[in-house]
Amino acid sequence: MILEVKNLRKTFGGVVALNNVSFSVKNQEIFVIIGPNGSGKTTLFNVITGFYKPDEGIIYYEGRNITGLPTWKIARLGLVRTFQNTKPFLNLTVKQNVLIGALATTKENALKRTQEAIELAGLKQKEHRLAKELSIQDRKKLEVSRALATGAKTLLLDEPFAGLIDEEIEEFLELIKGLKKSGKTIVLIEHVLKAVKKISERVMVMDNGNKIAEGSYDEVIVNNKVREAYLGETIITP
């Protein structure tokens, strides 16, 4: 297992955001986390990547205890997250934005990483375009490219399909498949269940800070607890 999370607990005041959440991710796996809004998914990413310290629990990455390490140290180990709301440097080009993500290394290596990340994210034809000129889809690709440029081995993607039309979703699915083929491990939070059905190898479902199910998409989607959690929301049946 490349990532192991054991009994994570996080509270904010009297609110339990994560309640003894445990799961593990295999190397080069596509592992998807779903659940209603407010179920703790983004908080989980924030704790794993060092933005928040857990109240209890342990996180292992490649066998190393990374619990409570600062974000930059975790990133240097190869575990990097993206954000749903992209925030590129709008007046810089795609290439300049990506290069910033690669600067914690030698100049030669930074340039190499930048070019590889741009190509892997499918932005080669737009590398000299200003970020403010990009579509929502391309800004999401830029977010992935910036993460790749850090030397990431494992990507935590926060709702990469949000705001995309069907055609763009299909293109982004191919991007994620390409990342896996290149040797990356992918953990993603997602609400677009038709995309989850197509891309996931395993799915974990959260509700009110609790893990309520884990398995294949077809297994979790018929789970009674999952259906109760999604009551009133659109859900795709097998």
Domain 1-78+153-238 superfamily per CATH: P-loop containing nucleotide triphosphate hydrolases (3.40.50.300)
| 216-220, Cβ contacts within 8 angstroms, sequence gap of 24 or more | 217/32, 220/34
Q: What is the pLDDT of residue 107?
A: 81
Can you name the residues that pair with 174 across neighbouring β-strands? none
**Every domain of the chain and the residues it spans:** 1-78+153-238, 86-152
Contact present, 39 and 18 (Cβ < 8 Å): no
E strands in the chain: 3-12, 15-25, 30-34, 56-61, 64-65, 79-81, 154-158, 185-189, 202-207, 210-215
Whose structure tokens read 């990342």?
Answer: 179
Average pLDDT of adjacent 10-residue blocks, the chain of 238 residues: 98 96 98 95 97 97 97 95 89 95 79 94 96 96 95 96 95 96 97 94 97 97 89 52
Q: What is the pLDDT of residue 238?
A: 47
- DSSP secondary structure string, 56-121? EEEEEETTEE-TT--HHHHHHTTEEE--SS----TTSBHHHHHHHHT-SS-HHHHHHHHHHHHHHT
Prediction pTM value: 0.92
Q: What is the pLDDT of residue 78?
A: 96
